[in-house]
Amino acid sequence: MSDPKPLFLAGEWVRTPSTRAVVAPGTGESLGEVCLAGPDEVERAAQAAFEARPLVAGLRHGERADLLHALADAVERERDLLAGTICDEAGKPLPLAEGEVSRALQTLRIGAEEATRVHGELLPLDRTEKGAGRTALVRRAPIGAVLGITPFNFPLNLALHKLAPALAAGCPVVLKAADQTPLILLELARLFAGIGAPAGALSVLNAEVAQSETLVRDERFALLSFTGSPKVGYLLKSICGRKKVLLELGGNAGVYVDQGADLQRAAERVAFGALAYSGQVCISVQRIYVHQAVYADFRALLLERFQATRTGAPREEGVTVAPLIDEAAAQRVLSLVERARAAGAEVLCGGTRDGASVAPTLLENVPDDADASREEAFGPLACLCSVRDAEEGFARLDDSPFGLQAGVFSDDVQVLLRAHERLEVGGIIHDDVPTWRVDEMPYGGVKQSGLGREGLRDSIREMTEPRLLVLRQR
Q: In this structure, is residue 385 part of a structural domain?
A: yes
Query: Does 427 share its domain with 454?
Result: no
**Total count of domains within the chain:** 2
Cα within 13 Å of Cα(209), Cβ side: 3
Q: In this structure, is residue 1 part of a structural domain?
A: no
Name residue 430's amino acid: H
Query: Does 453 share its domain with 435?
Result: no
Query: Does 237 share its domain with 268?
Result: no
Query: Does 327 share its domain with 240?
Result: no
Query: Does 157 share its domain with 281?
Result: no
> b/e map of 53-85 (b: 16 or more CB within 10 Å)?
beebbebebebbbbbbbbbbebbeebeeebbbb
pLDDT of residue 358: 98
Query: Does 215 share its domain with 287?
Result: no
pLDDT tens for each residue of the chain, 474 residues long: 579 999 999 999 999 999 999 999 999 999 999 999 999 999 999 999 999 999 999 999 999 999 999 999 999 999 999 999 999 999 999 999 999 999 999 999 999 999 999 999 999 999 999 999 999 999 999 999 999 999 999 999 999 999 999 999 999 999 999 999 999 999 999 999 999 999 999 999 999 999 999 999 999 999 999 999 999 999 999 999 999 999 999 899 999 999 999 999 999 999 999 999 999 999 999 999 999 999 999 999 999 999 999 999 999 999 999 999 999 999 999 999 999 999 999 999 999 999 999 999 999 999 999 999 999 999 999 999 999 999 999 999 999 999 999 999 999 999 999 999 999 999 999 999 999 999 999 999 999 999 999 999 999 999 999 999 999 999
CATH code: domain of residue 332: 3.40.309.10
Contact status, residue 69 vs residue 38, Cβ threshold 8 Å: no
Counting other chains too, the contacts that 236-243 makes at CB distance below 8 Å and 24 or more residues apart are 236/149, 237/451, 239/213, 240/216, 241/217, 243/219
CA distance 422 to 29: 48
Rg (CA), the chain: 23
pLDDT of residue 2: 78
Query: Does 426 share its domain with 460?
Result: no
Q: In this structure, is residue 2 part of a structural domain?
A: no
Contact status, residue 181 vs residue 211, Cβ threshold 8 Å: no
Query: Does 464 share its domain with 420?
Result: no
pLDDT of residue 280: 98
Q: What are the C-alpha distances in Å from 4 to residues 16, 30, 182, 185? A: 9, 12, 12, 14
Query: Does 238 share its domain with 365?
Result: no
Q: In this structure, is residue 414 part of a structural domain?
A: yes
Instruction: Tell me which residues are annotated as active site.
Output: 248, 282
Q: Which domain holds residue 280?
A: 254-440
pLDDT of residue 1: 56
Query: Does 92 share its domain with 239?
Result: yes
CATH code: domain of residue 21: 3.40.605.10
